[in-house]
Protein backbone atom coordinates (compact mmCIF):
# COMPACT_ATOMS: atom_id res chain seq x y z
CA UNK A 1 0.00 0.00 0.00
CA UNK A 2 2.83 2.42 0.83
CA UNK A 3 4.41 2.30 -2.68
CA UNK A 4 1.02 3.09 -4.24
CA UNK A 5 0.55 6.02 -1.88
CA UNK A 6 3.98 7.40 -2.72
CA UNK A 7 3.35 6.93 -6.43
CA UNK A 8 0.00 8.75 -6.20
CA UNK A 9 1.54 11.50 -4.10
CA UNK A 10 4.37 11.83 -6.66
CA UNK A 11 1.89 12.14 -9.53
CA UNK A 12 -0.10 14.78 -7.65
CA UNK A 13 3.05 16.79 -6.84
CA UNK A 14 4.28 16.60 -10.44
CA UNK A 15 0.90 17.71 -11.78
CA UNK A 16 0.74 20.55 -9.27
CA UNK A 17 4.24 21.70 -10.28
CA UNK A 18 3.41 21.60 -13.99
CA UNK A 19 0.22 23.58 -13.53
CA UNK A 20 1.84 26.25 -11.34
CA UNK A 21 4.69 27.06 -13.75
CA UNK A 22 3.43 29.75 -16.12
CA UNK A 23 4.16 29.16 -19.77
CA UNK A 24 3.88 32.60 -21.31
CA UNK A 25 5.30 32.12 -24.79
CA UNK A 26 5.56 35.85 -25.38
CA UNK A 27 8.36 38.36 -25.41
CA UNK A 28 8.56 39.89 -21.99
CA UNK A 29 9.47 43.55 -22.13
CA UNK A 30 10.14 43.51 -18.38
CA UNK A 31 12.84 40.88 -18.84
CA UNK A 32 14.39 42.82 -21.71
CA UNK A 33 14.45 45.86 -19.40
CA UNK A 34 16.09 43.74 -16.69
CA UNK A 35 18.73 42.55 -19.18
CA UNK A 36 19.36 46.16 -20.22
CA UNK A 37 19.71 47.29 -16.61
CA UNK A 38 22.03 44.42 -15.65
CA UNK A 39 24.26 45.14 -18.64
CA UNK A 40 24.28 48.84 -17.85
CA UNK A 41 25.13 48.34 -14.18
CA UNK A 42 27.60 45.45 -14.40
CA UNK A 43 30.40 47.74 -15.54
CA UNK A 44 29.45 51.27 -14.67
CA UNK A 45 30.19 54.23 -16.91
CA UNK A 46 32.23 53.97 -20.07
CA UNK A 47 35.86 54.20 -18.88
CA UNK A 48 37.70 57.37 -19.81
CA UNK A 49 40.80 55.35 -20.72
CA UNK A 50 38.74 53.62 -23.42
CA UNK A 51 37.69 56.78 -25.26
CA UNK A 52 40.44 56.26 -27.85
CA UNK A 53 39.07 52.77 -28.54
CA UNK A 54 35.46 53.88 -28.81
CA UNK A 55 34.05 53.11 -32.24
CA UNK A 56 30.59 54.05 -33.36
CA UNK A 57 29.01 51.15 -35.17
CA UNK A 58 25.99 51.76 -37.35
CA UNK A 59 22.98 50.20 -35.68
CA UNK A 60 20.61 48.71 -38.28
CA UNK A 61 17.38 50.39 -37.18
CA UNK A 62 15.95 49.34 -40.56
CA UNK A 63 15.78 45.77 -39.19
CA UNK A 64 12.87 46.97 -37.09
CA UNK A 65 10.99 48.83 -39.83
CA UNK A 66 7.26 48.68 -39.61
CA UNK A 67 5.59 46.43 -42.17
CA UNK A 68 2.19 44.86 -42.64
CA UNK A 69 3.36 42.16 -40.26
CA UNK A 70 4.60 44.55 -37.56
CA UNK A 71 4.49 42.19 -34.58
CA UNK A 72 5.95 39.19 -36.36
CA UNK A 73 8.75 41.28 -37.90
CA UNK A 74 9.50 42.90 -34.55
CA UNK A 75 9.51 39.51 -32.82
CA UNK A 76 11.85 37.99 -35.41
CA UNK A 77 14.22 40.97 -35.26
CA UNK A 78 14.21 40.91 -31.45
CA UNK A 79 14.86 37.17 -31.49
CA UNK A 80 17.83 37.71 -33.82
CA UNK A 81 19.24 40.44 -31.56
CA UNK A 82 18.87 38.26 -28.46
CA UNK A 83 20.42 35.29 -30.24
CA UNK A 84 23.41 37.40 -31.29
CA UNK A 85 23.82 38.85 -27.79
CA UNK A 86 23.81 35.32 -26.41
CA UNK A 87 26.54 34.33 -28.88
CA UNK A 88 28.71 37.39 -28.10
CA UNK A 89 28.49 36.71 -24.37
CA UNK A 90 29.33 33.01 -24.69
CA UNK A 91 32.94 34.16 -24.71
CA UNK A 92 34.72 33.70 -21.39
CA UNK A 93 37.14 36.60 -21.82
CA UNK A 94 34.92 39.28 -20.32
CA UNK A 95 36.48 41.87 -18.02
CA UNK A 96 37.01 40.77 -14.45
CA UNK A 97 36.15 44.30 -13.32
CA UNK A 98 32.51 43.68 -14.28
CA UNK A 99 30.18 42.56 -11.51
CA UNK A 100 30.20 38.79 -12.07
CA UNK A 101 26.87 38.25 -10.32
CA UNK A 102 25.17 40.74 -12.62
CA UNK A 103 26.97 39.25 -15.62
CA UNK A 104 25.74 35.76 -14.74
CA UNK A 105 22.20 37.07 -14.27
CA UNK A 106 22.42 38.89 -17.59
CA UNK A 107 23.61 35.78 -19.44
CA UNK A 108 20.95 33.58 -17.85
CA UNK A 109 18.10 35.95 -18.69
CA UNK A 110 19.35 36.45 -22.26
CA UNK A 111 19.40 32.67 -22.71
CA UNK A 112 15.85 32.47 -21.31
CA UNK A 113 14.68 35.24 -23.63
CA UNK A 114 16.19 33.47 -26.65
CA UNK A 115 14.28 30.32 -25.71
CA UNK A 116 11.03 32.22 -25.13
CA UNK A 117 11.37 34.18 -28.35
CA UNK A 118 11.76 30.89 -30.25
CA UNK A 119 8.45 29.80 -28.76
CA UNK A 120 6.87 33.08 -29.90
CA UNK A 121 8.22 32.62 -33.42
CA UNK A 122 6.94 29.06 -33.61
CA UNK A 123 3.39 30.06 -32.66
CA UNK A 124 3.17 33.31 -34.66
CA UNK A 125 2.07 33.67 -38.24
CA UNK A 126 4.99 33.18 -40.61
CA UNK A 127 6.53 36.29 -42.05
CA UNK A 128 7.59 36.10 -45.65
CA UNK A 129 11.29 35.33 -45.63
CA UNK A 130 11.92 37.91 -48.36
CA UNK A 131 10.60 40.56 -45.97
CA UNK A 132 13.02 39.46 -43.26
CA UNK A 133 16.15 38.50 -45.23
CA UNK A 134 17.43 42.07 -45.51
CA UNK A 135 16.74 42.66 -41.82
CA UNK A 136 18.62 39.52 -40.84
CA UNK A 137 21.57 40.44 -43.06
CA UNK A 138 21.74 43.89 -41.45
CA UNK A 139 21.63 42.46 -37.92
CA UNK A 140 24.19 39.77 -38.77
CA UNK A 141 26.56 42.44 -40.16
CA UNK A 142 26.10 44.65 -37.08
CA UNK A 143 26.91 41.88 -34.65
CA UNK A 144 29.79 40.70 -36.84
CA UNK A 145 31.24 44.22 -36.49
CA UNK A 146 30.91 43.94 -32.70
CA UNK A 147 32.58 40.51 -32.70
CA UNK A 148 35.31 41.65 -35.11
CA UNK A 149 36.08 44.64 -32.89
CA UNK A 150 36.41 42.32 -29.89
CA UNK A 151 38.77 40.01 -31.80
CA UNK A 152 40.85 42.81 -33.32
CA UNK A 153 41.37 44.34 -29.90
CA UNK A 154 42.09 40.89 -28.42
CA UNK A 155 39.06 40.98 -26.13
CA UNK A 156 40.50 43.86 -24.13
CA UNK A 157 38.50 45.64 -21.45
CA UNK A 158 38.00 48.58 -23.82
CA UNK A 159 36.77 46.34 -26.63
CA UNK A 160 34.25 44.76 -24.24
CA UNK A 161 33.15 48.22 -23.09
CA UNK A 162 32.49 49.18 -26.72
CA UNK A 163 30.50 45.95 -27.18
CA UNK A 164 28.56 46.65 -23.98
CA UNK A 165 27.82 50.22 -25.10
CA UNK A 166 26.56 49.04 -28.51
CA UNK A 167 24.41 46.27 -27.07
CA UNK A 168 22.95 48.70 -24.52
CA UNK A 169 22.01 50.98 -27.39
CA UNK A 170 20.40 48.05 -29.22
CA UNK A 171 18.41 46.93 -26.17
CA UNK A 172 17.32 50.52 -25.52
CA UNK A 173 16.06 50.76 -29.09
CA UNK A 174 14.05 47.55 -28.66
CA UNK A 175 12.61 48.78 -25.37
CA UNK A 176 11.43 52.00 -26.99
CA UNK A 177 9.63 49.97 -29.66
CA UNK A 178 8.03 47.61 -27.16
The 10 Å Cβ neighbour count of residue 150 is 19
- According to the model, what pLDDT value does residue 119 have? 77
Whole-number average pLDDT of the chain: 80
pTM listed for this prediction: 0.78
Residues 6+ away with beta carbon under 8 Å from 115: none
Say if residue 15's pLDDT is above 60.
Answer: no
For residues 39 and 86, give the distance between their C-alpha atoms in angstroms, rounded to a whole number.
13
- DSSP code at position 97: T
> What's the CATH fold of domain 25-177?
Growth Hormone; Chain: A; (1.20.1250)
In this predicted model, what pLDDT tens digit does every residue of 66-107 receive, in sequence order? 554 555 677 888 889 999 999 999 988 889 999 999 999 999
- According to the model, what pLDDT value does residue 127 have? 53
Say if residue 38's pLDDT is above 90.
Answer: yes
Q: What's the mean pLDDT in 38-65?
A: 86
Amino acid sequence: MAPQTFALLGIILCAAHVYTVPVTCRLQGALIKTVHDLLENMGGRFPLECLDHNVQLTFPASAFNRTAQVNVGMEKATHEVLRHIDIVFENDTMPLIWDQRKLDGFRNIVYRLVEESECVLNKSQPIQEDDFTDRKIALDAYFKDISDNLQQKEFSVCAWEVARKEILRTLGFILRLL
